[in-house]
Structure 1
């Protein structure tokens, strides 16, 4: 069984401001649920962060430590950051999108993945937890950026 969940939120700031913060791996642990550390472990071919770059994250989810590596598959600031796991306990695809709206930015996170072992057995719980976590991520992103 695979999961495909998303969360969205209206953030009352311009997409450039929201995406600049959210797409910067150095902020991952500040607004993303469960992430304790994030490190750029491979730069993009042109250097720095972009397509081909890899970020290694250590997170805690459902009481378990998870170490995984996300490779940037698409990077189109301020609109899109698309990442796929290249190492970790399960295949994962994470997409951040930021669309302009008269009220600010329509921010969305989508997580798709499939698991083996524990994660396959826990798929229904996992999907609920991921949906809850990414909803909180967007809430925390807004609060961090607006100071509210």
Structure 2
């Protein structure tokens, strides 16, 4: 596996509040780096968003357009959202976790996957740095966005 990156940030709000916003695909473009569009293209078996649902995203990464589909593998609000790519230029798994912390919520995003073989050995370190930077900005923007929403209520 080329990359396995986890980034964490304490957000001074309860996990339910952070997860409610972060787990809603309709907010992906507001706080996730590079996401241009996000659309629920397959609902969960019981309807809506949950295990089995698929979200199609169009993103920009390293100056390239990337279209991919993530299928929800686990959805346990407010603690866990785990998604795996079913259509993507390379395999990936994205896991969001939200746990209690003395100062609010410990939010974490883990991304695993990427190119394999020789390309992984050559591009893996650079790709890992880029993903780490992007995820750090995601969590920063998540906190900023939630702060704006709280201030406007």
TM score, norm. by length of structure 1:
0.95
2:8–2:107 contact (8 Å) kept in structure 1: yes
Alpha-carbon distance between aligned partners in 1 of 2:105 and 2:119, rounded to the nearest angstrom:
33
Alpha-carbon distance between aligned partners in 2 of 1:76 and 1:19, rounded to the nearest angstrom:
10
Alpha-carbon distance between aligned partners in 2 of 1:130 and 1:37, rounded to the nearest angstrom:
19
**Structure 1 runs (4+) greater than 6 angstroms displaced:** none
Alpha-carbon distance between aligned partners in 1 of 2:123 and 2:101, rounded to the nearest angstrom:
37
Q: Tell me the SS of whatever aligns to 1:122.
A: helix
- Determine the structure 2 residue equivalent to 1:59: 59
Q: Which moved more, 1:113-122 or 1:47-56?
A: 113-122
Deviations 1:76-113 (Å, cap 9, x if unpaired)?
A: 00000000000010000000000011210000000000
Please list, as runs of the form range in 1=range in 2, the aligned pairs for 1:85-100 lying within 5 A after superposition.
85-100=85-100
- Determine the structure 2 residue equivalent to 1:108: 108
**Structure 2 residue ranges without an equivalent (≥5):** none
Q: Tell me the SS of whatever aligns to 2:90.
A: coil
2:2–2:116 contact (8 Å) kept in structure 1: no
Offset, 1:118:
9.7
1:119–1:126 contact (8 Å) kept in structure 2: no
Alpha-carbon distance between aligned partners in 1 of 2:119 and 2:73, rounded to the nearest angstrom:
24
1:70–1:84 contact (8 Å) kept in structure 2: yes
1:19–1:78 contact (8 Å) kept in structure 2: yes
Q: Size of the alignment, in residue pairs?
A: 148
TM score, norm. by length of structure 2:
0.92
- Determine the structure 1 residue equivalent to 2:40: 40
**Structure 1 residue ranges without an equivalent (≥5):** none
